[in-house]
Structure 1
Amino acid sequence: MTNSIKILVVDDDYNICELIRLYLEKEGYEVIVAYNGSKALEIFKSEAPSLVILDIMLPGMDGWQVCREIRRISNIPIIMLTAKGETFDKVLGLELGADDYMVKPFETKELVARIKAVLRRYEHKPAEVKEVVFPNLVVNLSTYQLKVNGKEMEIPPKELELLYFLASHPNKVFTREQLLQEVWGFDYFGDSRTVDVHIKRLREKLDSEEQVWQLKTVWGVGYKFEVK
């Protein structure tokens, strides 16, 4: 018997994943597994799990980054796992939006109990819809949808995230560095011209010349979402 609750387990240790899967499936949960951060985000967006169990030490994109990316688009429960027990890790995890925290090695029965407790708390939280609406423009970060003049547009995730961030702060100017930090993450080491490329692509999609809103370049500073 299943209870229709889907849980994403993210850990690069195959044995830990299988142990957690075994216990959770006995409890009736549906379990999906990812062994690295980028795959976890891909699965998260396609499968829409009800809860994420997230290891901190992952190859490539670590658990902090995954948590940060998930929190940009969803408020579903996240339980962090780590082999470390320092207060700093706990505080950072909670500040990034984790709902609970377990230190390895852990008792699997305790993990199950914490999952149930977190899910109970979550049931009483109102769902947060991340959406900004302007005349002839709807940017929904919860569903990753963009509508321009009532028509749904195909758009890569990062372009949508950039547009959502700017449109959430109308008429406020952001430097390229600020946009890199807010949209790509503070530890992104890419070229600031990445922002220029994404803005150019957004303008091509939006065709905003006749609208009350526009993506404007503030010369020598950066960009803003201008609303007249």
Structure 2
Amino acid sequence: MTDTISHPLAGPLDRGLNALGLPLPPAVQRRLLSYLDLIAQWNRVYNLTAIRDPGSMLVQHLLDCLAIVQPLRREAGQAGEGSSGLKAGCRVLDVGSGAGLPGVVLAICEPEWSVTCVDAVAKKASFIRQVAAELQLTNLTATHQRVEDMDDAPFDLITSRAFATLSDFISLTTARLAPGGRWVAMKAHLSPEERAGVPANVEVFHVEPLTVPGLDAARCLVWMRPQAG
């Protein structure tokens, strides 16, 4: 029996996932679409995002963030023999998370990852907490503070999406990165000037072009780690 999903954007989401080579169970797809509905609902009052059209939100927010799931699984899988992704219980910090992008998406797709979203805007942290409650995402937490003021235990992976320059991203989060951890920044593009501004003790070890289904715009992932020694 086919497990159909009753939602106006179920078809476009499924086609986008196929284009990304990212098969997700129907239950996960339902949560992603419920998350999109919550963004639209809160957006009417709290202005979480400038994008209002649900179809545009699907492409520019949801698929944009889903495009990084396979690269994260692949890169993390190289750290452990036989691993298909970050180890169970791996700690992920999403900085300047806004409406939870990509942190909420990662928490939905990878229930064994422990994801913390931090944002300096109270209403955005409150929204993510509501998402975690309504979608029963026990692996998702949100904190309202500046990342440089956090005193949480270190994180294995620190992400950001259009948050700041790489140099600022690194300087604000270095204290939160666990030994052997990685930074990964979602960018439209990486200019030579921005790359040159990365501290000498940090290695940009991979710049990965991304293709987002339905989005005619440049996207890339910038992978970084502390220099050995």
TM-score norm. by structure 2 comes to: 0.34
Structure number with bigger Rg: 1
TM-score norm. by structure 1 comes to: 0.34
Larger relative contact order (CA 8 Å, sep ≥ 6): 2
